[in-house]
Amino acid sequence: MKIKIRIRISAIVIVLLALSMLYRINSVKVEWYMQYIFFAPIVVMGLIKYLNNRKRFSSSVAKSLFKSAMLPHVVAFIYTVVLLIFGLVQSKYFSRCVSSTVQMLFIGLFVLSMLVLYGRESVFIMIKAMVVSYLITLCMALYGIGIAGMLAYIINPLTSIYTSWFEMHDLCLSIGLIVIFLLFCNIGDHSRWKNMAVVLIIMFLGYKRISFLACVVACIFGFWVRKRASAAQLAKLWFVAVAILMFCFAYTYICTTDVYSDLAARFSIDTASRVKIYANFRRYYDVSFAYLGQGVGFVTKILTILQQSRSFGVGGITALHNDLLLQYIELGFFGSILWFVYYIFRLPKKLKNRFGYKIERLYYILLVYAFITYCSDNTMHYYIFQSTFFLILGSEVFSVIQSREGIVQQITMQERNAKKSDWQA
């Protein structure tokens, strides 16, 4: 009876998550706040279970990951308040700072709730929800453009006029994380290659080019560091961490100059209006050590204002499409450095100290993928992306701990059998 009830609750959770992941219904874009409304019941259930079982290991892991994921957002909020107190940022943008921080905290609570409710299975709940959500999208595409339109898109997705019917930005960019999970994590009794086939189909149909690039680079790196912990493997991780940090500095600087637009023009790269967006934002920041930032939420607020005034010269611009540049604009020179250092050095060190080298290695593989997508998208604040990132870490932590417990139990049984044999002798 309990199993049947649990299955029914899981089905309801999958449906709620699938609805929260929908990007549009036919040609109407779903409002951003609807995703929070849909997964709010899951958060409530998870928090109730967490409060009733705070001493359980699953709750401890969930709490640890929640604190690690949310710390930089809380610190960034406090930093913005300090800038506001000293009159260094305008108070009219502060409401967006509050809403942005609350959204990230709510995403953190969602991750905590899923880990408490489902533990290792939480990632597969997300995978099922992604599949259901994309199937709904395909049904809407079939109704809207017919089989002929769908075939036209599949044959040439890059230039098809039907692209918007298949785009689910957050979900499709998160699929790359699932590919990494299926390749490098212990998935228990689940079929690795059946799940892989399904998510790769979604990845192709979603056709996010940055996701393809990021997935290839992250997987190559993953196989490069796949061996057990050693001085050489640790040196590789350290090398990649330093390389990511240097890349963040270089790429952010390039985006603040004309180098980005010159490279795009030279190699005929379709930047989807990013050149115009970056150029419009130069008036709001300085490239100097003394630049302190405009505060959390500033970029999205300005984008709303510019969109309403049609200052871009292009329509439909709602995001900066560059999370690295966004951190620089909002947190300033030293603030953005601290942000990058936390995610590239401090957080993986904390994970290694508590959960071991295997979790640190997985974190860096996921981080390589994430930071490549940060270059041209807004995944640092996407609900599905960030949730999937930390749920994969949490799931693998459970796997590692259970594996250790199994080894300990096996050794204990062997010792008991040996003592029993000695006594009988």
**What is the structure's pLDDT at 409?**
46
> Among all chains, which residue has been given the structure tokens 């779903």?
30
Q: SS3 letters for 63-82? A: HHHHHHHHHHHHHHHHHHHH
Phi, psi of 270 (to 5 degrees): -80, 105
Instruction: Find all residues with CB under 8 Å of 94, minimum gap 6, and list them.
Output: 80, 84, 295, 297
**What is the structure's pLDDT at 408?**
41
Q: Are 368 and 239 in contact (CB under 8 A)?
A: no
**What is the structure's pLDDT at 315?**
54
Q: Are 284 and 328 in contact (CB under 8 A)?
A: no
Q: Are 190 and 124 in contact (CB under 8 A)?
A: yes
Long-range pairs for 334-339: beta carbons < 8 A, 24 or more residues apart: 334/289, 335/76, 335/79, 335/292, 335/293, 336/252, 336/293, 339/72, 339/76
Q: Are 329 and 298 in contact (CB under 8 A)?
A: yes
Instruction: Render each residue's pLDDT in the chain as its tens digit; 425 residues.
Output: 555 566 688 999 999 999 999 988 877 888 888 999 999 999 999 999 999 887 777 788 899 999 999 999 999 999 999 999 999 999 999 999 999 999 999 999 999 999 999 998 999 999 999 999 999 999 999 999 999 999 999 998 877 788 889 989 899 999 999 999 999 998 877 888 899 999 999 999 999 999 999 999 999 999 999 887 788 888 999 999 999 999 999 999 999 998 988 888 888 777 777 888 888 889 999 999 999 999 999 999 988 887 776 655 555 567 889 999 999 999 999 999 999 999 999 999 999 999 999 999 999 999 999 999 999 999 999 999 999 999 999 999 998 887 765 544 444 454 455 445 555 54
**What is the structure's pLDDT at 230?**
80
Instruction: Locate the domains of the chain by residue range.
Output: 1-206, 208-381
**Beta partners for residue 28, in sequence order:** 25
